[in-house]
Chains A and B, each alone.
Chain A
Amino acid sequence: MAANTAQAKTQFGYRRHPDQERSGANVAEHPVVVVGAGPVGLSLAIDLAQRGQRVVLLDDADRIGEGSRAICFSKRSLEFWDRLGVGDRMVEKGVVWSVGKIFHGASQLYQFNLLPEEGHKRPAFINLQQFYAEAYLVDRVEQLPEIDLRWRNKVIALESRNDGVALTIATPEGSYQVHALFVVACDGARSSLRQMVGAEFAGQVFEDQFLIADVKMTAAFPTERWFWFDPPFHAGRSALLHKQPDDIWRIDLQLNPDADPIAEKQPENVRPRIERMLGHDKFEFEWISLYKFQCRRMARFIHGRVIFAGDSAHQVSPFGARGANSGLEDAENLAWKLDRVLRQLSPETLLESYHIERSAAADENIRESTRSTDFMAPVTKQEARLRQAVLSLAEDTEFGKRMVNGGRLSVPSVYDTPLSSGDRDDWRGGPRPGTSMLDAPVTEPGGGSGYLTDAFIRQGTRFTLLTFGNGADVDVPEGVGSIRVGGAGGLVDAQGLAGQRYDAEPGTAYLLRPDGYVAARFRNAARPILDAALARAAGLN
């Protein structure tokens, strides 16, 4: 099963670091150590580095993991990766999709479009093997001298101190110590750092088993997400089909709870199932994996100066693409806050908002993915009966279609957060405080076309005031970026979509956080209320 990774470097060497010569009172001091070079750890390190922070990034392996694993990356994740300078590469390689179809038996029940409107830079989703995403992120890391990526460096002990964390790190040449002001644990679902801080990781275990097979074949299926309930080729269970780059197709089959995992994984046993599904045998296996899953999260994402992000902090079922995408949202949420705290621009309590916002997002992701899983694998007889009733009602009613749950796909969470300033003015629409910024096409006064998300990046991905129309000139506070739509010298909203999406009137202003979330919005952004909203969003009051 040779993965087709010709263009991407996946093997990396261990290199001795001068820190390893130091011991006792002389151990190296670092502002941030990120543990785990998966998509979350890599993205967090890049974000911090772009903000000027030096980051030590440790990984216990010396290669990018095999198998495609996470494959669906959301619009929100792509917008984050644009900010990190890797979005184009991901989208060029990835398979773009926005339509999902749900089948029951042999017939289609309905289809949905996750991004039915035009005028967004990024699509609803791309499918891309996780190893490609990681390889592109590693390439970006290598362009940033602020990041010191150390392969085959495994954290084996952790001691929390008042002013930081002491880590003991094992390498092929023995162990050494470093001291960090902050440690971010991005070391995955089986996080060893989580065990080292003694945190529980409780939740719901699902008994059903799922078989993932990535097969290589040329096929004319459209690039859509296809989900089946009770398909003719896999009676009584569910199935999912996704296209990936390089003519690889992800097939996900629900198995019986009592299926023998060792036997089910054997290619000779998987092959007949896939043949029944595809109606032919012209495919090769790239990767086969069998899994059960749990939905769970840590009670607290912050333990002293050790902060957890991604799968180490929360785990969901895979239906809904809420695993890797929520981990990336964690990284983006944390990076700017940690940067401000390290620069002493904001108090350490700002980090508490990371826990508040992202643990609420984890709850939402767990709730959504648990509902999907329960729908696919009903627990009681009556639950199965209700599920069956929904599926049959879906054939001829709109409400039935909407109740069919074959996975509710990841969208950015809306935060109920102390960093937001509540609306004081009247709004008929637009993103309320706590909501991720909306994209829209805009053109430069000179004629170059682009998007609001591009303009945000050009402003340096910092606190930014987005203003509309020919309102009175806003006195933008020091250090705050400014995007002007309309008016003399402003971006041109030729299609009117920016104005529409933000419910804009002349003078309307949105204060965006460095992670692109709306902190506050005003019909008239007078300085005192703007300053107050800014202070609040920075955790200063």
Chain B
Amino acid sequence: MALSTSSNFAKPDDAFRAIVEAHRGLTDAQSADLDAALVLVLANHIGDLDVLREAIALAKRRTLDASQQQQQQQQ
């Protein structure tokens, strides 16, 4: 199974909102704790190492792209 990047939620805004609201009122450290647990719970639910690796690669590419853009803006 490959990583699905098509839209899977009937109401994507509800899903985004659910995650955002989970972080409301938390300090950065608490948010990071929450994310760590959430990632592990979701990763186990997916239960497919190839999909997990693809997801990590996709997420990591976004992070790297973002930090490169930031560097370019600073230059």
Main secondary structure of the interface of B (DSSP, over half): helix
Interface residue count on the A side (C-beta < 8 Å): 12
In B26-75, which residues have CB < 8 Å from any A CB? Answer: 32-33, 36-37, 39-41, 44
Q: How would residues 367 to 403 of chain A score, 1 for a CB under 8 Å from any chain B CB and 0 otherwise?
A: 0000000000000001001101110110001011001
Contact indicator B32/A390 (Cβ below 8 Å): no
Which of B32, B33, B36, B40 is close to A400, meaning CB atoms less than 8 Å apart?
B40
Least CB separation from A386: chain B residue: B36
Contact indicator B36/A385 (Cβ below 8 Å): yes
Contacts of A382 in B (CB 8 A): 32, 36
Contacts of A385 in B (CB 8 A): 32-33, 36
Contact indicator A393/B32 (Cβ below 8 Å): no
Contacts of A390 in B (CB 8 A): 40
Least CB separation from B40: chain A residue: A389
> What distance in Å separates the Cβ of B56 from its nearest Cβ neighbour in chain A?
13
Docked pose: A392 CA to B36 CA in angstroms: 11
Interface residue count on the B side (C-beta < 8 Å): 8
Which of A388, A397, A399, A403 is close to B33, meaning CB atoms less than 8 Å apart?
A388
Which of B32, B36, B39, B44 is close to A399, meaning CB atoms less than 8 Å apart?
B44
In A392-443, which residues have CB < 8 Å from any B CB? Answer: 392-393, 397, 399-400, 403
Contact indicator B44/A389 (Cβ below 8 Å): no
Contacts of B37 in A (CB 8 A): 389, 392-393
Contact indicator A388/B36 (Cβ below 8 Å): yes
Contacts of A397 in B (CB 8 A): 41, 44
Docked pose: A403 CA to B40 CA in angstroms: 10
Least CB separation from B36: chain A residue: A389
> What distance in Å separates the Cβ of A351 from its nearest Cβ neighbour in chain B?
36
Least CB separation from A381: chain B residue: B32
> What distance in Å separates the Cβ of A367 from its nearest Cβ neighbour in chain B?
15
Least CB separation from A383: chain B residue: B36
Docked pose: A229 CA to B29 CA in angstroms: 21
Contact indicator B33/A393 (Cβ below 8 Å): no
Docked pose: A390 CA to B44 CA in angstroms: 11
Q: Most B CB atoms within 10 A — which of A385, A388, A400, A403?
A: A385
> What distance in Å separates the Cβ of A529 from its nearest Cβ neighbour in chain B?
36
Q: Most B CB atoms within 10 A — which of A382, A386, A390, A400?
A: A386
Contacts of A392 in B (CB 8 A): 37
> What distance in Å separates the Cβ of A327 from its nearest Cβ neighbour in chain B?
31
Query: Can you list 8 pairs linking A and B with CB atoms under 8 Å apart?
Result: A382-B36, A386-B36, A386-B39, A388-B33, A388-B36, A389-B36, A390-B40, A397-B44
Q: Which 8 A-B pairs have the closest CB atoms?
A: A389-B36, A389-B37, A399-B44, A385-B36, A386-B36, A389-B40, A385-B32, A385-B33
Supplied contacts A386-B39, A388-B36, A389-B36, 4 more A-B pairs, CB within 8 Å: A386-B40, A389-B40, A397-B44, A399-B40
